[in-house]
Amino acid sequence: MEYRTVLTTCTYCGCGCGFYLTVMDGRVVDTIPCKTNPVNEGKLCIKGWNVHEFIHSPNRLTQPLLRKNGTLTPVSWDEALDFTAARLREIKEAHGSDSVAFLASAKVTNEENYLIQKFARAAVGTNNVDHCARL
Amino acid sequence: MVDEIKARVQQLLASGKIKGFLGLREMHGQVGPYLFTDGSDLDGLVAGDRKSPGDSRYPLNRQLMMIAGHYPKETFGVLIRGCDERGLKTLFSSNQLNPEKVVPVGIACPQELADACECMKPFPDEFVAGEPGEGRPFGTVERIESLTLDERFELWMAEFAKCIKCYGCRNICPMCYCRECTLESKDFVSIGSLPPESPIFHLTRAVHMAGRCIDCGLCNEACPAGIPVRTLYKKVADIVQQEFNLRPGYDSPNAEQSSSSVGEAARH
């Protein structure tokens, strides 16, 4: 028999609401907003309330995929990164730096967000930087 | 209060009467629901009064329904206050929980919480800790009823306009157990628009609370927009009592007082 409540933080936006995920027999089945968390005080938005629903989704990506001959094919990280770097360079050279945009994340550290904007501005040469919470 | 609860839970677990006790535990600096299964390890068990009375109450009955659904043969203990007991009684009578498989461990709410909740009966029939407070009439309902109809309508429409449609009032509700929810039916609620259709969205939920709401107030506490939905459901409960002589969770509504006379009756 397993019933556990696991205290964790919402993955959706930068607010960082606290909640408990209810685990029954190895599966996450429910979300309960944490009443004592000073950030959300027992409240959640509709995304937070349903956060447990994507955890076991078979549609989640678990490894890099590359479209080869029209079909998404699992590849190594090296191959995926080499391909991405080569295409970014091609696109930039053919259409200019502002043909590329970067989406950072509200759920990573300041330092990582600094790195991605630095990469966008210094390496690629664009100010097209936005973040996931606007998606 | 905690010591009395611990003693009772320890006894229940040691005797093998219950497989687990669904209560509250303070861990990692936060208070949340927890299933205690070992009587010798009740560290962190709390009553849900962290900084102020009742500030960390959770819909334990709702979680209990989930656990009981997975383990229908097992018996579980559960921490209850007056409102939770009304919930249990209603869930028993609507066949959502089996009374033979639930062992409630009751606590009485302090007067401060009873006042804030305007609770008619802030204690369960039996409790192991706390002093039974006095019941309180629904002052919030009376205040709104003192307004003219136009003023009331304006007030509620302004409140409903703040709704961000998070469904928190429904999701936290220990009495919302329907498999299909009208609030997700395309025939009633348009998808993808904010605020939700007003006042239909909120009034639909209010009507569905008739004969069901046990006035725990968790909906108010879960609302990010601060809409006083509880006041609406209190009024619905008053109407149901008037019209059908029914107040969910009270054994004999005839003997129970209406919200307007509760202050008087509770002192008898």
Interface contact B221-A42, CB threshold 8 A: yes
B150: helix, coil or strand? helix
Q: Considering the entire predicted model, what is its pTM? A: 0.86
Domain assignment present for residue A60? The answer is: no
Q: Is the peptide bond before B110 cis (omega within 30 degrees of 0)?
A: no
- Residues B13-72 have pLDDT tens digits of 999 999 999 999 999 999 999 999 998 889 999 999 999 999 999 999 999 999 999 999
Residue B254: predicted pLDDT? 53
A70 & A13 share domain: no
User: Residue A11: inside a domain, yes or no?
Assistant: yes
In this structure, the answer to whether residues A69 and A129 fall within a common structural domain is yes
pLDDT surpasses 50 at B113: yes
Question: Residues B238-255: what's their mean pLDDT?
Answer: 83
Counted domains in chain A? 2
Mean pLDDT for chain B overall:
92
Q: Do B166 and A1 touch (CB under 8 A)?
A: no
Give the percent of chain A with pLDDT over 90.
87
Contact list in B for residue A42 (CB cut-off 8 A) is 221-222
Q: Which of B107, B131, B136, B110 is nearest to B121 (CA)?
A: B136
3-state secondary structure of B93: helix
The arithmetic mean of pLDDT across residues A122-127, rounded, is 96
A75 and A96 share one domain: yes
Given a cut of 50, whether residue B265 has pLDDT beyond it is no
Domain that holds residue A17: 3-53
| A-chain residue closest to B52, CA distance | A36
Give the β-pairing of A3-9 and A18-24: antiparallel
Q: For position B195, what pLDDT does the model report?
A: 85
Among B27, B166, B224, the residue with its CB nearest the CB of A7 is B27
**Residues paired with A130 in a beta bridge:** A103
The one-letter amino acid code at A114 reads Y
Checking if the pLDDT of B253 tops 60, the result is no
Which chain B positions have a beta carbon within 8 Å of A18's beta carbon? 30
Q: What is the structure's pLDDT at B262?
A: 59
- Rounded-to-integer distance, Cα B193 and Cα B165, Å: 9
SS3 B174: coil
Q: Are residues A79 and A45 in the same domain?
A: no
Same domain, A41 and A84: no
Q: How far apart are CA B74 and CA B71, in angstroms?
A: 6
Which of B21, B58, B220 should one mutate to test binding to chain A, selecting the residue with the greatest count of A CBs within 10 A? B58
HSE-CB of A116 using CA atoms within 13 angstroms: 17
> In which region does residue B95 sit, left (phi positive, over 0), alpha (psi from -120 to 50) or beta (all else)?
left
A47, A71: one domain: no
Q: What pLDDT is recorded for position B140?
A: 94
Same domain? A47 vs A69: no
Residue located via tokens 């904007």: A117
Mean pLDDT lowest for which of B50-54, B94-98, B159-163? B50-54
Q: Are residues A76 and A120 in the same domain?
A: yes
Mean pLDDT for the stretch of residues A31-39:
97
Q: Which two tokens stand for residue A78?
A: 């090296």
- Specify whether A129 is located in the same domain as A81: yes
Q: What are phi and psi of A32, to 5 degrees?
A: -125, 115
What's the average model confidence in pLDDT over B150-174?
A: 96
Evaluate whether residue A28 is within a structural domain.
Answer: yes
Q: Pick the closest to residue B61 from B221, B250, B216 (CA basis).
A: B216
* A49 and A74 fall within a common domain: no
Identify the CA nearest to B64 among candidates B93, B42, B39, B88.
B88
| Distance from C-alpha of B83 to C-alpha of B123, rounded to nearest angstrom | 8
Between chains, do B164 and A45 touch, taking CB under 8 Å as contact?
yes
User: Which has the closest alpha carbon to B247: B234, B265, B264?
Assistant: B234
Residue A58 within a domain: no
CATH of the domain at A35: 2.20.25.90
Given a cut of 90, whether residue A1 has pLDDT beyond it is no
